[in-house]
Each structure stands twice: as C-alpha cells, then as structure tokens.
Amino acid sequence: MDKKRRGEQLIIETSTKLMNVEQPYIEIYRKYSDVIKQHSADVLNEKRDAAFHSFLQMGFPTQKLENYKYTDLRERFAPDFGLNLNRFPTPVNPYDVFKCDVPDINSHLYFVVNDSFYSAKNESEQKLTEKGVFIGSLRDFAKSHPQLVSTYFGKSTKCEEDPVVAFNSMFAQDGFFLYVPKNVIIERPIQLINVMHANTPLMANSRNLIILEEGAHAKVLVCAHALNPVQFLCNRVTEVFAGKNASYEHYKLESTHEQMTNIGSLFIEQETSSSILANEITLLNGFTRNNIQVNLNGEHCETLLCGMAVGDKNEHIDNQTLINHLSPKCKSTELYKYILDDHATGCFSGKILVAKDAQKTSAFQNNKNICLSPDAKMYSKPQLEIYADDVKCSHGATTGQMDENALFYLRSRGIPEKEARMLLMLAFTNDVIENIRVDALKHRIRTLTENRLRGELAKCSGCVICKT
C-alpha cells in the first residue's frame, strides 16, 4: 500500500474512532452504574442517571460549537483510559512523597489521589473541627451530612447544558469537601494536591464542593502533580458557594507533564457583599481546558479573576470564562496573559454578561498575549453582553511579539539577549502574580515562573514526586 493510501486509511480509521468515542463510556455506565453508585453516596448518586441521559443527548462537545472551535475534547477522550470504579486503593502515601517547599506557607495539607480523597490524620485539622469546619472526603461527608451536602451539590451546574459536567456527574464518586460556618476565618491556606499515579493510562473524575457561610473566609491552593510519565486525563468539577460578606481565594497551579490532559470546571456563586479572587496558572501541561463561571447574585459583590499560561512545544491551553452580573452595584476585574513558543496553542474566550437589573455595574476584562514563535497560535475572544444602561464596562485583547525597543534598551545596558528576553517575559507576567495574596505562595510562583521561562521544568524541589 502506498503512502497516500495508508494516510487516507489512517484518517478514516481516526475519524471513525472519534465518531464513536462516546460509545465505550455509555456502555461502561450501563454495565457498571450499580457499582459506581455502590462506592459513592446517595446525594451524589441522585444526579447520575439524569446526567447520563443528558450525555446521551449531547455527547462530547465538537469543534462545531463556538466555545470549542479550537479545542477538540473528543480526541482527548479517545484513548483507552482505565477507570477505578471499584475504588481499589492506590499504593502510595502522598504525605510521604510530597514535601511542599513553599517557605513559610504553613498550610493545611490534603490530597486527592487520582479521584479519591486520601484519608489520613491531619495534625492541623483538630482546631478547625472545634470551630465547626468540615474538611475531607466529599463522599464521606455526603453520607454523614446528606442534608447539608444536598443543599448545595449540583446547584450551580447544569448537566443538560454542559457535556463535560454531565460526564463528571456520571462517573465522579468522591472528591474534596470544605465547609466553613458563619463568621469563621481560616487564617492558614488550605492546600489540595491532586496526585495522579498509575502505570497505565488512567482517567480521574472527581468533584469538589466548597461552602462558605455568611462572613466566612478561606484560601484554597489547588496543585496538580503526576507521578508517572503516562497518559492521564483529569476531569474535575468544583462548586464554590460564598455567602453574604464571605471572602474566598482560589489558586490553581498546573505543573505536570506533556502527556497530561487537565479539564477543570469551576462554578462560583456569590451572595451580597461577598468577595472572590480566582487565580489559575498553567506552567507545564500537555492539554488544558479551564471552564469558569461566576454568578454575582447579590449587590456589592467583588470578583477578581486572573490567569496566566506559559506554553511551548505542542502544548494546548484553553481558558473559557463567564461572569454573570445579575445584581446591581457589583464589580468584576478579569486579566489573562499567555506566553507561547514553538507550536503551542492558546485560547481565551471571556464573556461578561450584565443583566437588565444589574445597574451601577463595573466590569473590566483584559487579555494580553506574546507569541515568541511564528508557529505559535493564539485565539482570543473577549465579549461584552450588556442589558443595563448605567454601567462602566470595557474589554480588550492584544497579541504580539516581544517588544524590540525594550529588548534593545536592556541589551544596551550590557544584559545578554537571552537574559533580557527572560526579564521582559517575567515582567509581562508580574501583574497576574501580584494578584496572589499569600506572600509565600507569590514568591514561590514567581520563582517557578522564572525557571519555566528559562526553559527549566517548573518543578518544586521539595517534592519527592518531582524528583522521580
């Protein structure tokens, strides 16, 4: 067979495989839905069958959809991934292999290994428990406190509209749970480390639920790690509910390897006078898709949404955001920045919607990007949809190359070209990093970013996982 015919056959076989990519998962759910439910909790199980029927109707999103025009999720789900539906324990103690080297961060440390919360005694947890704080396995808390969990679980997501969330709702059996009661302030950051560990391709679907009652305050740092250089796909959904006058900070750091696919969906519900900071940083990952939706449901809410991505080789980073201003006198600020090299692809689609009754809204969105290579691609789509008439809103996007005048200035001061380029790129990321409000974390992220821009792997030196 000549090369042309072999190429045509490969295209046909690949297309046929992608056309049927949903079918294996449909068959798995039909055959093992009882097993999935048996190893989860009733509250989580209540939505499974409805999610399955929604997924049957939609399937995985295709590139014909505007929000997935440059991101092919069907291709990512096509490999033969394993699913741990019977919840077999993973032979690794993350507390032995993860040693955080962020100086002075003094955090409360928790782990999700693949898609199961790792239960272990946490020495810092007792004082939080005395204040009425719940931290631990979503599955376990859904069993012991079903009424509390059912009040919030799945309330901000719509499986009938989002196939990624529907798929997660079908298969997620566990995850991370945080409940902070009224007026309780958690001073120290909470670190949630998602560790992937397997010797063969593996998929993890987990669910996170974070609830802050009126006047509560918490900071959560979510990190992604991969122990093995094999294909992993993570589909994680996080719901955050911030009550009246509550304050919440959400930091997410991706630094894994080129065979990792991370699909993250973050849904935030804000009540009157609540404050939210979400800052998502991708330093190293094969394929990233982040979906973020924030609903400002009460007056005087404030939202600061930031993101930063550094991509090279064939990495793909896609951030899709939606901020819904549903009440008057709220403020949102959004800033995303990308640095792309080689054949990397970046996508940003940010939408701000101002409802008819959301007068006195202030909303600002900005996306800035640098393409270091002629083969790097950036697709940007900032959007405003305004139905109120007394608002202050703006949005913008710029994509370009390195500032040659600034580069010339630094070189004229005796700085070598390579170092000058690195300094300019680090300065470009500075305003995103400055929006990290945990000083120890800010300094460490700046160091990791500098290492990444120098071409070094952005790994933490104190983590045994990163040394193997």
Asked if pLDDT for residue 33 goes beyond 60, the answer is yes
pLDDT of residue 107: 87
Contact assessment for residue 225 and residue 196, using Cβ atoms and an 8 Å cutoff = yes
User: Which residue, chain included where needed, has tokens 């970046």?
Assistant: 346
Instruction: Give CA–CA dist 146/15, Å, rounded.
Output: 44
pLDDT of residue 164: 96
Longest dimension (CA), the chain: 72
pLDDT band at 36 (very low <50, low <70, confident <90, very high): very high
Instruction: Give CA–CA dist 243/308, Å, rounded.
Output: 28
For the segment 210-226, the average pLDDT, to the nearest whole number, is: 96
pLDDT of residue 49: 97
Q: What share of the chain is helix, strand, coil (3-state, %, to 5)?
A: 30, 35, 35
Contact assessment for residue 44 and residue 104, using Cβ atoms and an 8 Å cutoff = no
Q: Which residue has the higher pLDDT, 7 or 293?
A: 293
Query: What sign results for the dihedral spanned by CA atoms 153, 155, 159, 162?
Result: negative
Taking only the tens place, the pLDDT of each residue in 62-73 is 999 999 999 999
pLDDT of residue 204: 97
Q: Going by C-beta distance under 8 Å and a sequence separation of 6 or more, which residues neighbour residue 276?
A: 240, 242, 247, 248, 249, 250, 268, 270, 294, 301, 302, 303, 304, 305
Instruction: Give CA–CA dist 45/164, Å, rounded.
Output: 17
Asked if pLDDT for residue 57 goes beyond 90, the answer is yes
Best CA proximity match to 135, nearest among 210, 221, 225: 210
Best CA proximity match to 459, nearest among 241, 223, 277, 286: 223
Percent of the chain with pLDDT over 70: 91
Taking only the tens place, the pLDDT of each residue in 302-328 is 999 999 999 999 999 999 999 999 999
pTM: 0.92
pLDDT of residue 458: 45
Taking only the tens place, the pLDDT of each residue in 128-144 is 888 999 999 999 999 99
Taking only the tens place, the pLDDT of each residue in 131-177 is 999 999 999 999 999 999 999 999 999 999 999 999 999 999 999 99
Asked if pLDDT for residue 16 goes beyond 50, the answer is no
pLDDT band at 463 (very low <50, low <70, confident <90, very high): very low
Q: Which residue has the higher pLDDT, 406 or 377?
A: 377
Contact assessment for residue 112 and residue 139, using Cβ atoms and an 8 Å cutoff = no
Burial class (CB in 10 A: 0-12, 13-18, 19+), 424: middle
pLDDT of residue 101: 52
pLDDT of residue 102: 63
Taking only the tens place, the pLDDT of each residue in 327-341 is 999 999 999 999 999
pLDDT of residue 19: 61
Percent of the chain with pLDDT over 90: 80
pLDDT of residue 4: 52
pLDDT of residue 462: 45
- For residue 377, what are its two tokens? 């691609």
For the ranges 55-59, 105-109, 210-214, 215-219, the lowest mean pLDDT is seen at 105-109
